[in-house]
Amino acid sequence: MAERTLQVTGRLGLHARAAANLVRVANRFHSTLTLQRLDGDTEADAKSILEILTLAASRGTRLRIVAHGVDEEDALDAVVGLFSRDFDETEREEIDQSAAQQLRCSGLGVSEGVVLGRVLRFQEGAREVYRARIDDADLERERRRFRAAVRLSRRQLEAIKERAEKELGRGHAYIFDAHLLFLEDAKLTRDVEDYIVRQRSNAEWAAKVVGDRLLSIYTQINDEYLRERGSDIEDVIQRLLANLTGEGRKYPNLSEDAVVVSRDLLPSTIAELDLSHVRAIATDTGGWTSHMAIIARGLGLTAVVGLRDFYERTRTGDQILVDARRGEVILHPTAATIAEYDFTRSSAPAIAANVTGVVDSGPVTTRDGVSIALRANVELPTEFQTVRQFGACGVGLFRSEFLLSRPGLMISEDEQYEAYKALAEAAGSDGAVVRLFDVGGEIGNELKERERNPALGLRAVRFNLRNQQVMRTQVRAILRAGAAGKLSLVIPMIADVADVRLAQRVIAEELDNLNAAAIPCAKVPTGAMIEVPSAVLTAEKIAREVDFFELGTNDLVQYTLAVDRGNDKVSDWFRTLHPAVLYGINRTLQAAGEAGIPVIVCGEMASTPAYAVLLTGMGAIDLSMTPAMIPRVRSTLGQIDTQQAREVASKCLESATADEVEEIVRSEFRARWPELFPPSKLPKASEPTA
């Protein structure tokens, strides 16, 4: 046996990449090599990266290395040499330094607030892991399944490493060496296999338990840099789980100050996440009207979207500042940057702060005596109570597809009935409008095969007509709940009269079936969502077939201008105030007026005070919006005169471009209502707008 004493001198301590080098050197020798901290009794096998990292040996730590075997002296020489060369890390340290440098990224702020927190990387498509008991006879098969997942993960990591080497250079690819070593570390593989056998457990559960155990060791490490490397282990475990379950990856444990960073966040995921701990959201994709943004605003969450490749630059645990007002995120903010913000005051979004105040309710009356209903758009059952809190005239739009919190999972008729009944109760005498499932597009990708062009595909009413079991179940639940409260039903994405007639036939048949079975139910008013240009162009004809219209301005902008509402690359072309969009809205309002049916404007446009004024100028008297925005829209509309709004709207309708309309809005609003519309509340010149 031989031993030497060493000191860690590298700035970043014995971190993952250094440890990977040490493992590689140690594995060249037959002797056992053990590292011991001189200031305690922790020790680690120098051939196990996971054990080395749990030493938490930061700069200055003194270690003893003990070698035992035929080549013990040579092994010690090699290890001492590696320590004296700072683990051959000089070139790579620069990368680590730059990784910890402040990084600003611009996107689009879609709500309010400034939040300082820690990154929680979130990858879509993940699933929970469940425990299953395995029969003795099947334990060997379970271990083989685990080994196969390790092999598959290795192949994936090698491919990623190769690509990263080509695209980013050897320095960046190096971290995947460490991932490969984690994956094959006996501390992980042996422990998982032991757990499978001892606990008669399925491989997924065993990998999760062992992984959680390793991660918990990391969270106790004092050195911040080393602690954050826990996310590398987390990454590897998630990969293994994904390969075992054949599903995606999941990060279920949220810390108090979690900032969810994701490439893309499906609304169904938001519905499923425990949001009580999430402080902010930052995503690579998305736009002002994507559902993720709408929900973030509804919940008062600070959110910045459209950050392009930001996700790739982060690690779980990194410090992050999210500034939704400026539409910016700052990774590893310096002390000076943090000092620019005043975090002693509440940095929660102002819109969320309204929840506790006493608010007015009922319709708002403009200066010239026009009564305008202000309703709530709701997505999640947890939002039902906000209808009252923000003084809404009932629910103008319930996006019922959010009941399908996991894509692919349909809920039963009785569960839906309970949800619609609760909705009707929350809405009270003003009633609630339930939209038939608007799945397809960005929601519910797994309900069907992926389509090349989902926004133009089997979405909304088309999906319902093709999946009649789903549609009939929902319709029955709505008709039954209609007997217990005031409900209406709206059919999404109507393109023409034929769509309306087909959907209404199904509704009429289900009403007959319920009546024939003597099940309590009620015929409910039926409306059409007008959000597709062909529906605008045939609005008079559709108006004769339905009880009311709902104007979905989010999709109307998307389809009229052929601009994907969730694609940040084209957000400059998403112009709510485009004359073609205003023309469509105006035409729809007129057609409904002539047919004598009401119109609820329920797109995000109604949530923005300046746009709400313009809508009233075109004759809208029924607006539905994110509940938290109601007090603000109420206060604005209560101080304007619709006659003046009409004058501005007619000038806008005569304009040729979105820029011209925005200029009219800026100058006219400033001149007519200077206190209501300071420049910050108006569309900015030549910038993307809501």
Given the rule CB under 5 A, which residues bind Mg ion?
A: 531, 552, 555
Residue 235 pairs in a beta bridge with none
Binding partner of residue 379 among Mg ion, ligand PEP, none, CB cut-off 5 to 8 Å per kind = none
Strand, helix or coil for residue 480 = helix
Least separation in angstroms between residue 612's CB and ligand PEP is 14
DSSP state of 282: E
Q: Could you tell me which of 312, 323, 270, 260 has the C-alpha nearest to residue 294?
A: 270
Q: What does the per-residue mask of binding to ligand PEP show for 434-453, with x meaning CB under 6 A?
A: ----x---------------
Q: What does the per-residue mask of binding to ligand PEP show for 372-401, with x meaning CB under 6 A?
A: -------------------------x-x--
Name the one range near ligand PEP by CB under 6 A: 77-85, 125-133, 513-521, 550-558. 550-558
Residues that bind ligand PEP (rule: CB under 6 A) add up to a total of 10
Least separation in angstroms between residue 118's CB and ligand PEP is 31
Alpha-carbon gap, residue 637 to 615, rounded angstroms: 11
Please say whether the beta carbons of 565 and 558 come within 8 A.
yes
Six-digit token pair at 72? 């013990």
The length of the chain in residues reads 690
The one catalytic residue among 105, 291, 393, 652: 291
**What is the number of other CB atoms lying within 10 angstroms of the CB of residue 547?**
15
Q: What does the per-residue mask of binding to ligand PEP show for 340-379, with x meaning CB under 6 A?
A: ----------------------------------------
Please say whether the beta carbons of 157 and 211 come within 8 A.
no
Q: Is 602 in the site for ligand PEP (CB under 6 A)?
A: yes
Please say whether the beta carbons of 575 and 654 come within 8 A.
no
Q: Whose Cβ is closer to ligand PEP: residue 282's or residue 436's? A: 436
Name the one range near ligand PEP by CB under 6 A: 112-120, 354-362, 548-556, 570-578. 548-556
Least separation in angstroms between residue 300's CB and ligand PEP is 19
Q: Is 51 in the site for ligand PEP (CB under 6 A)?
A: no
Least separation in angstroms between residue 347's CB and Mg ion is 32
Six-digit token pair at 521? 């139910």
Q: Is 268 in the site for ligand PEP (CB under 6 A)?
A: no
Q: Whose Cβ is closer to ligand PEP: residue 295's or residue 419's? A: 295
Q: Whose Cβ is closer to Mg ion: residue 552's or residue 609's? A: 552
Q: Could you tell me which of 392, 397, 366 has the C-alpha nearest to residue 616?
A: 366
- 172 carries an active-site annotation: no
CA dihedral 197, 198, 203, 204 (to 10 degrees): 180
Q: Whose Cβ is closer to ligand PEP: residue 189's or residue 560's? A: 560
Alpha-carbon gap, residue 76 to 125, rounded angstroms: 47
**Helices of type H across 572-657:** 579-595, 609-617, 630-637, 642-653
Q: Is 603 in the site for ligand PEP (CB under 6 A)?
A: yes
Q: Whose Cβ is closer to Mg ion: residue 13's or residue 444's? A: 444
Please say whether the beta carbons of 261 and 571 come within 8 A.
no
Least separation in angstroms between residue 100's CB and ligand PEP is 40
Specify the residue for token string 């162009």. 537
Q: Which of 555, 622, 662, 668 binds ligand PEP (CB under 6 A)?
A: 555
Q: Whose Cβ is closer to ligand PEP: residue 143's or residue 399's? A: 399
Binding partner of residue 237 among Mg ion, ligand PEP, none, CB cut-off 5 to 8 Å per kind = none
φ, ψ for residue 262 (rounded to 5)? -150, 160
Q: Whose Cβ is closer to ligand PEP: residue 160's or residue 570's? A: 570
Least separation in angstroms between residue 214's CB and Mg ion is 45
Six-digit token pair at 20? 């990977």
Six-digit token pair at 572? 């400059």
Name the one range near ligand PEP by CB under 6 A: 117-125, 466-474, 500-508, 551-559. 551-559
Q: Which of 211, 552, 609, 688 binds ligand PEP (CB under 6 A)?
A: 552
Q: Whose Cβ is closer to ligand PEP: residue 285's or residue 644's? A: 285
Q: Whose Cβ is closer to Mg ion: residue 318's or residue 555's? A: 555
Q: Whose Cβ is closer to Mg ion: residue 254's or residue 270's? A: 270
Q: Is 485 in the site for ligand PEP (CB under 6 A)?
A: no
Name the one range near ligand PEP by CB under 6 A: 134-142, 350-358, 511-519, 553-561. 553-561
Q: Whose Cβ is closer to ligand PEP: residue 202's or residue 554's? A: 554
Cα 285–289–293 angle (5° rounding)?
Answer: 65
Least separation in angstroms between residue 352's CB and ligand PEP is 21
* Cα dihedral 532, 538, 539, 544 sign: negative
Q: Could you tell me which of 380, 375, 444 has the C-alpha nearest to residue 407?
A: 444
Specify the residue for token string 């100028």. 617
Write out the binding residues for ligand PEP, residues 110-169 only, by CB under 6 A: none
**What is the number of other CB atoms lying within 10 angstroms of the CB of residue 128?**
12
Give all strands (DSSP E) within 423-510, no chain letters. 432-435, 487-491
Cα-trace Rg, the chain: 30
Please say whether the beta carbons of 17 and 11 come within 8 A.
no
The one catalytic residue among 105, 393, 521, 602: 602
Binding partner of residue 603 among Mg ion, ligand PEP, none, CB cut-off 5 to 8 Å per kind = ligand PEP
Least separation in angstroms between residue 378's CB and ligand PEP is 11
* Cα dihedral 302, 402, 547, 581 sign: positive
* Cα dihedral 156, 161, 162, 167 sign: positive
Alpha-carbon gap, residue 500 to 436, rounded angstroms: 12
Q: What does the per-residue mask of binding to ligand PEP show for 520-539, with x meaning CB under 6 A?
A: -----------x--------
Binding partner of residue 110 among Mg ion, ligand PEP, none, CB cut-off 5 to 8 Å per kind = none
Please say whether the beta carbons of 54 and 16 come within 8 A.
no
| DSSP per-residue string spanning 111-171 | S--EEEEEEEEE-TT-------B--GGGHHHHHHHHHHHHHHHHHHHHHHHHHHHHHH-HH
Binding partner of residue 553 among ligand PEP, Mg ion, none, CB cut-off 5 to 8 Å per kind = ligand PEP
Q: Which of 58, 283, 553, 644 binds ligand PEP (CB under 6 A)?
A: 553
- 68 carries an active-site annotation: no
Name the strands in the sheet holding 278-283, side by side, starting at the edge strand that comes first in the sequence: 103-106, 328-331, 319-323, 114-122, 258-262, 278-283, 302-305, 108-109
Least separation in angstroms between residue 648's CB and ligand PEP is 22
**Could you give the residue numbers annotated as active site?**
291, 602
Contacts to ligand PEP by CB under 6 A: 397, 399, 438, 531, 552-555, 602-603
